[in-house]
Homo-oligomer: A and B are copies of this chain.
Amino acid sequence: MVPHLITALTGPINELEQRILESMPAIERWFRLEWMEHTPPFYSSVDVRNAGFKLAPVDTNLFPAGFNNLNPEMLPLAVQAAMAAIEKICPEAKNLLLIPERQRNNSFYQTNLATLVRIFTQAGLNVRLGSLDESITEPTALPLPDGSALTLEPLLRKRGRLGLKDFDPCTILLNDDLTAGVPRLLEHLHEQYLLPPLHAGWGLRRKTAHFRAYEEVAKKFAKLLGMDHWLINPLSVGVSGNDLASPQGIEALQTQVELVLSKTRRKYKEYGINEKAFAVIKPDAGNCGAGILTVRDAKDVEDLGARVRERLRHCGEGAGAFELIVQEGVPTNERVNAAVAEPVVYMMDRYVVGGFYRVHADRAADESLNAPGASYVPLAFAQSSQLPRLGEKPGASAPNRFYMYGVIARLGMLAASYELEVTDPEAEVYA
């Protein structure tokens, strides 16, 4: 399925597409050189927003849970990438322990798990599932929508190693983003590869750190292509304090929102963009879509603090100290059947292995689509993203558009790699 590319056939994004296509060998070489210095996350997904005048990643997920939404025909790409990843990490490996999210009643998530099991089995590993849920005390069937079943088993911790009964893995793959914190079972596993590492979990990870790393990556990449990094980089600032109900807290937030809005407006003017700038306020940690607030003018919102606090309550966060990121809003101009859509790109190791459109009929172009009611349109994303057609008219070719999305998503992934290096608590030991 090829989406309706509603973005205009002229303007900055098509110049960017053109430049990215022309520079394909240079871009791929640049990534190769980056991967000589940095380690890609084991797997990741990146939400990309295409405003027509700007294209930027807005979320980089290090515990991707939508493998069920990928085009099954393109799964061999994921298998091949998994083979390459395993070969680097633990080529002697026989066993892989997969630790899923605690939630068990979501059939989409279960299919995501089944897809991961399939990918890693076919990459040559015995895959078993160990549950963080303490109510799992014996092997428990997890029925799948297609009539088959997975088995959840209780985790067994023996001194430095984590496994299952009669199952000692070389590598442990986490598919839980640790929003609830790091379970003691997972601490100090120095003898095994725990992927992603604990500091990639939302207990420790911060979006501000990610976007600081992304800015560095975007500047390097923009220099390579000789362009303004703003075209691929959403302005982001952090704001934190002790109390969002206090005048100091609200003022701090308003100041940062005004800063982001005024900078964005200046850029819109520079590029002749006739749209109203907006900012999004998100919790600095976690993937709670309900916590995202769209703001068009800090002064218009009299009770900004109260509204942010209300959003945070939806994410289970209490009053008191707050950590937020204020980010330039990037509208999405993609549509699938008239509904607002944004591409999500899936990666394994350094490779784009697939993607889909997240579609939300009830949301506007300036709102988060990561909310109840979203649906997913699988695309042969990787297929197209790796096989752009040189010489086609800019903006007219879905494969070329997808190649560009794959490049921007890989910039997000590379930023996550930088980020995890900077935030690695183990690294300090040797510093």
Contact = CB atoms under 8 A, between A and B. Distances in A.
Interface of A: 24-29, 31-33, 35-36, 73-77, 79-81, 83-84, 86-87, 91-94, 118, 121-126, 350-351, 380, 382-383, 385-388
Given A76-B382, A77-B76, A124 B29 contact: yes
Q: When A and B form their complex, which 6 residue pairs have the shortest distance between CB atoms, in order from nearest?
A: A28-B124, A76-B386, A32-B91, A79-B386, A25-B126, A29-B124
Contacts of A380: 73
B87 A32 contact: yes
A115 B125 CA distance: 33
Given A32-B92, A76-B382, A118-B387, 19 more contacts: A24-B121, A24-B124, A28-B125, A29-B92, A29-B94, A29-B125, A31-B124, A32-B86, A32-B87, A33-B92, A36-B91, A73-B383, A75-B387, A76-B383, A79-B387, A80-B81, A83-B351, A122-B386, A122-B387
Nearest to A76: B386
A33 to B, nearest CB: 7
Nearest to A118: B387
Given A76-B74, A76-B77, A28 B351 contact: no
B80 A25 contact: no
29 contacts: A24-B121, A24-B122, A25-B94, A25-B124, A28-B122, A28-B123, A29-B92, A29-B125, A31-B124, A32-B83, A32-B91, A33-B91, A33-B92, A35-B91, A36-B91, A73-B73, A73-B383, A74-B76, A75-B387, A76-B382, A76-B383, A76-B386, A76-B387, A77-B80, A83-B350, A83-B351, A84-B84, A122-B387, A122-B388
Determine how many copies of this chain the complex contains: 2
A31 B126 CA distance: 15
A431 B87 CA distance: 29
Contact of A83 (B28, B118, B125, B385): B28
A35 B36 CA distance: 21
Contacts of A29: 92-94, 124-125
Contacts of A81: 80
A77 B383 CA distance: 9
Contacts of A35: 87, 91
Contacts of A351: 80, 83
Nearest to A28: B124
A400 to B, nearest CB: 12
A303 B299 CA distance: 101
Contacts of A118: 387
Contacts of A387: 75-76, 79, 118, 122
Contacts of A91: 32-33, 35-36
A124 B382 CA distance: 16
Contacts of A26: 94
Contacts of A122: 24, 28, 386-388
Given A86-B32, A91-B33, A121 B76 contact: no
Contacts of A84: 84
Nearest to A124: B28
Nearest to A383: B76
Contacts of A383: 73, 76
A2 to B, nearest CB: 14
A150 to B, nearest CB: 13
Contacts of A93: 29
Contacts of A121: 24-25
A351 B77 CA distance: 11
A147 to B, nearest CB: 12
A91 B91 CA distance: 21
A76 B379 CA distance: 14
Which of A76, A125, A382 gathers most chain B CB within 10 Å? A76
Which of A29, A91, A382 gathers most chain B CB within 10 Å? A29
A92 B35 CA distance: 11
Nearest to A79: B386
A385 B382 CA distance: 19
A371 B32 CA distance: 42
